Structure 1
Amino acid sequence: MTTIPPVPVRCIHRPLSGGLVVPWIAFTHDGHVAFGGVDQHKRHLALTRCLCQICGQRLGERIYLLVRPQDVSTRWASEPGVHPECLGYAKQHCPMLNGQASHYRRSPLLATHPAGRPCPDPDCPCPDTTTPKDHNARSGQPAEDWDAWLINPANYRLKADPQHDLLGLDLDINVLKIRPIRRSRHAGLDEKLDLIRQLLDLPPSSDEV
């Protein structure tokens, strides 16, 4: 008998796939959910309207940003924010966040139907919407480390490129706390994270979400 994991109250209105909550920004096509694929229109709405990428509801007084080491370098994060309880659920069940997936999937979502077949519709929008811009660069690469940065609404800021195209969320902000979410086996990462905390004048980390 399959046990369906309990979901946060905020997510009880969301559909399930395989017993798991379908994130609000997940791309769906022809009745299939492309976990790992992103509906870029919904991503844009989540960023600009301050919505949680998991439940789709407006973010509150405590906002978590999902941040990778490369995001720290560029000073912006592509992922929309999440509620604390939605982050806790994703941390348990998302393979990229809980460590079950060691690498990004090798076959790109760009030109494939979410069910694994070539998309039969040449006019389908999925080539433009299912794949983050850096997916091809990450295809088959080792999974990255993730941290959750706790911020308040006053530090929720959008980041655009010189052409005014939306990139994501600005990380050149005041951060209340950094929580490690996923750690790969790379030497020196904890030391680097500690250095980041020192530079941002943050308290020591905690695994609680």
Structure 2
Amino acid sequence: MSALPTPIRCNSRPRVGGLVVPWISYEHGGHATFGTIDPVKAHRALAHRLCQVCGQRLEERFCLAVRPMDVRIGFAPEPALHPECLAYSKQQCPMLSGAAATYRTSSATAKHPAGRPCDDPGCSCPKIAPDEGHSARSGRPADDFDAWMIDIANYRLKKGPRQPNVLLGLDLAVPVLRIRPIRRNPRPDVAELLTLVRSLGL
């Protein structure tokens, strides 16, 4: 399958190695770290209906990259995307494309974007220490992902039950126009495992 062209919306975004740096990525001193999220930008994207990749306003339909755990908790913690920005991300993001088998480790993400720990006490780097969710996933096998397409009329924020000013993400208990798989991790063949166990006399 040929690569999709970069969405026109992303033409003004900086690039690293030819890849678009998502708008919500943490950037510092001219450097950006893929796989990190700037919490200030993420909050702004959620509150103002901005795409997490290009940073522009969402239109009549938006997409979410949804994991099984998101469905269980009832919300998607990351901001939405334009359909074409999600299509681009599916090809270029190692987590969505299936190229990455595991999540990045917390120690790698916590480093300065230049690839080394930041020793500047006035730097905002410590403010992007991995959240509890990232720490729990650090180094673990990648999740399955589905693409949910939703009408903008059903864009609904999920807020903290005791802290209404805290945006948890986007509510998933809304009508969904379409759900399509993005990535699936290989599952063990149960019959094959049972045959192996029997052959071992277990």
TM-score by length of 2: 0.86
Letter in 2 for 1:127: P
Match of 2:185 in 1: 184
Match of 1:203 in 2: none
Q: Which secondary structure does the structure 2 equivalent of 1:134 belong to?
A: helix
Task: Please say which of residues 103-112 and 157-166 is displaced more in the overlay.
Answer: 103-112
Partners of 2:159 and 2:172 lie apart in 1 by: 12
Q: Percent of aligned positions with the same letter in both sequences? A: 57
Q: Which secondary structure does the structure 2 equivalent of 1:52 belong to?
A: coil
Per-residue CA deviations over 1:25-62 (Å, capped at 9, x if unaligned) read 01012221110010111100100000000000000111
Is residue 109–residue 130 contact of structure 1 (8 Å, CA) maintained in 2?
A: no
Alignment of structure 1 residues 83-162 onto 2, 5 Å: 83-109=82-108, 111-129=110-128, 131-162=130-161
- How many corresponding residue pairs? 185
Task: Please say which of residues 101-110 and 168-177 is displaced more in the overlay.
Answer: 101-110
Per-residue CA deviations over 1:142-198 (Å, capped at 9, x if unaligned) read 01111111100111100012122210000111111101111111369xxxxxxxxxx
Q: Which runs of 4+ in 1 moved over 3 A?
A: 130-133
Whether 1:171 and 2:164 are equivalent positions in the alignment is no
Partners of 1:130 and 1:19 lie apart in 2 by: 27
Query: Which ranges of structure 2 fall in alignment gaps of 5 or more residues?
Result: 190-202
TM-score by length of 1: 0.83
Taking only aligned residues, the RMSD between alpha carbons, in angstroms, comes to 1.8
Match of 2:196 in 1: none
Is residue 39–residue 130 contact of structure 1 (8 Å, CA) maintained in 2?
A: no
Query: Which ranges of structure 1 fall in alignment gaps of 5 or more residues?
Result: 189-209
Structure 1 or 2, whichever has the larger Rg, is 2
Letter in 2 for 1:37: T
